[in-house]
Amino acid sequence: MSRSDGRRRSHGRHVPIGAVLGLALLGFLLDRPAPVAADEPLAGGSIVELAFGGDVLLGAEMNAYVAANGPAAPLSGVPGLSTADVTLVNLESVVASGADVVDTGTVGDHYFLGRPEMLGVLEAAGIDLVATGNNHARDFGAAALAEEHSLLTGMGIAHPGIGSDPATACAPAYLASRELRIAVISVNTTEPAYATGDGRIGTCFVAADDRDGWRTAIGPVIAEARSKANVVLVMPHFRASLRTVPHPVDRAIARLLIDLGADAVLGDGAHALQGIEVYRGRPILHNAGSLVFNFPDPGQAAFFSLELSPAGVVAVRTVPLVTEVAWTRPAKPAEASAILAAIDARSRQLGTSVDGGHVELAPAPRDPPTAQPPDVAPLNPGPAPDPLTDVPAACTAGSVPDGAAVAPERVGPLTLVGAQVDRGRIDGPELIWLETYWRIDSQVARDLSIEPRATPERGVPWQGPHEPCNWAWPTSRWVPGTIYRDRFPLRPTSEVLRLAGVPALLSMTGYGPLGISVDVRDRDRSLGESGVVGTVVLDPAPRTRLGVLVGAVVAGVIVLAVIRRWQQRRQRLA
């Protein structure tokens, strides 16, 4: 069914025309969708097609891709999303006007910011609900997340998983189609630092290994949703492991959610497709992988088409896709065969027989809902916000701070006027934060990127390509006379990450100084690179010297004891 078909907007049973007009007027006055009537049973034969996709990235390189190709481009080639009755995905980025990133203290963290107009990707693809309970929700702090909440609310896109307190963050969002009510709960299991409860907006967080926490925090939410909806879905954001087999702890929690009353568990976060498991007649889609992302190489992907009835999910079908950089396309025949075969094999590992990515189900009947949801989100949300016209405050500076000023240096069409590194020495793999200040003499039509580099005496340079102000304010919007500020982390290379292990213990030497510079690029072409604006010494030896010494002493004692015992044995034999 096409989304242009008016039947897709059906949110409840047939009621007298007066009641319809009354509800519509009340909804208009309150600026919220009219609630679904709950005083009569729903039609038993209703079938709703629900499309479930995995991680949707609206940050990083996606900003440049959409600016160049339009908001429909990332998902326009994905068949079935826009024709499904209801579409759910995980929003794997913050969408806001811009703010400084939050250092979580985790080495190698990625921070994803999408400009407000990036929500047009969701509108163009017909996405009705985004799960927000994940490990990127508060990458740019509580204020940016609050702005995202406001933007999504303004568009009418349901977004469970965030709130100003645990009860609000863990509350389900409600959708309705063809007389079926659907409740969706979103839970973050991977980033406790982003949990709500500190008085600011944050995520619904439950640690994956906290079974009691799931029972006490999510069990009652599922029970409450069961009284108001025909179908209850839980979307846990599991660990991003790039594994095709679910972690045993994640698998146990998914089963627990079914035991607690969920009709299906729709996992995301692993950036890899995992198998389908049927437990007690109800499906667990352990991980849907990435629906659209910025990975440099083509990757196997899919979305899952679920047929919903008042009893729950009665069928699951896999639609094979391939992700490219910032866009997704249908899988070619050979690719599709490989993806479906992989889903079948991964499902067999979980004890479930799946044929070509398809499985039929016969869930036990459910009691109809007895209560009315607080509100029901609209389908076909939109429109998306327009691009900003005013520069975000974090992206400019009245002057270059003391200690950061440098002699103005022309780098392509930009002029570097300030730079500072957050430290001069690190003793292991850590993020290096570089803050730079720029001006422009004349406007440019293209969006240029800034690529900080930390170049070692030997080894691979650290690099952090991005658009200025962490993608928030591209150079095509710069005006002469303004100082623009950028702050961005350089992540350790895989070579450096290995310094944390045995090689660091054995080397007892430093990695050497890292010379920090900045390259200005127009897509794949360098327009110029600055001179060295700072130096950071990476030396793992101080951290490990004591450990090496203790280890050497212990090893020496063991060796001496073995030799002594061998000598004593020889003496007895003699």
pLDDT interval class at 3 (50, 70, 90): very low
Name the burial class of residue 20, with classes exposed (0-12), middle (13-18) and buried (19+) by CB atoms within 10 angstroms of its CB. Answer: middle
Please name every residue paired with 52 in a beta bridge, in sequence order, or none if there are none.
Answer: 88, 304
> Residue 110 in contact with residue 59, Cβ under 8 Å?
no
State the chain's maximal CA–CA distance in angstroms. 109
In the predicted model, is pLDDT for residue 24 greater than 50? no
Q: Which tokens in the block code for residue 253?
A: 């929690």
Query: What is the distance between the alpha carbons of residues 335 and 560, in angstroms, rounded to a whole number?
Result: 60
Looking at the chain, the whole-number percentage of residues with pLDDT higher than 70 is: 87
Q: Which tokens in the block code for residue 350?
A: 């979980």
> Residue 199 in contact with residue 184, Cβ under 8 Å?
no
pLDDT number for residue 69: 97
pLDDT number for residue 79: 82
Amino acid 385 reads P
pLDDT number for residue 550: 64
Query: What is the distance between the alpha carbons of residues 519 and 452, in angstroms, rounded to a whole number?
Result: 6
> Residue 271 in contact with residue 291, Cβ under 8 Å?
no
- Collect all residues with Cβ–Cβ distance below 8 Å to 95 and sequence separation of at least 6: 58, 59, 113, 114, 115, 116, 118, 119, 148, 151, 152
pLDDT number for residue 25: 35
Average of per-residue pLDDT across 280-293:
97
- For 80-125, what is each residue's pLDDT tens digit? 898 999 999 999 999 999 888 887 777 777 899 999 999 999 999 9
User: What separation in angstroms does the CA of 574 have from each of 561, 568, 569?
Assistant: 20, 10, 9
CB atoms within 10 A of CB 329: 17
Name the burial class of residue 483, with classes exposed (0-12), middle (13-18) and buried (19+) by CB atoms within 10 angstroms of its CB. Answer: middle
> Residue 128 in contact with residue 157, Cβ under 8 Å?
yes
In the predicted model, is pLDDT for residue 311 greater than 70? yes
Mean pLDDT (the chain) is 88
Does the pTM of the predicted model rise above 0.75? Answer: yes
Could you give phi then psi for residue 144, rounded to 5 degrees? -65, -40
| Nearest to 3, CA basis, from 86, 119, 113, 105 | 86
User: What separation in angstroms does the CA of 124 have from each of 74, 81, 120, 121, 438?
Assistant: 9, 10, 6, 5, 35
User: What separation in angstroms does the CA of 194 have from each of 104, 164, 165, 294?
Assistant: 9, 12, 12, 23
Query: ∠ CA 44-50-52 to the nearest 5 degrees?
Result: 150
Cα 76 off chain centre by? 20
Rg of the chain's alpha carbons, rounded to an integer? 27
pLDDT number for residue 542: 55
> Residue 119 in contact with residue 97, Cβ under 8 Å?
no
Query: What is the distance between the alpha carbons of residues 12 and 23, in angstroms, rounded to a whole number?
Result: 12
Helical spans, DSSP H, in 126-247: 141-155, 166-170, 211-213, 219-226
- Give the residue, 247 or 6, on which the prediction is more confident: 247
Looking at the chain, the whole-number percentage of residues with pLDDT higher than 90 is: 73
> Residue 350 in contact with residue 277, Cβ under 8 Å?
yes
SS (H, E, C) 317-371: EEEEEEEEECEEEECCHHHHHHHHHHHHHHHHCCCCCCECCEEECCCCCCCCCCC
Q: 157-166, 235-244, 371-380, 497-506: which range is least confident on average? A: 497-506
In the predicted model, is pLDDT for residue 38 greater than 70? no
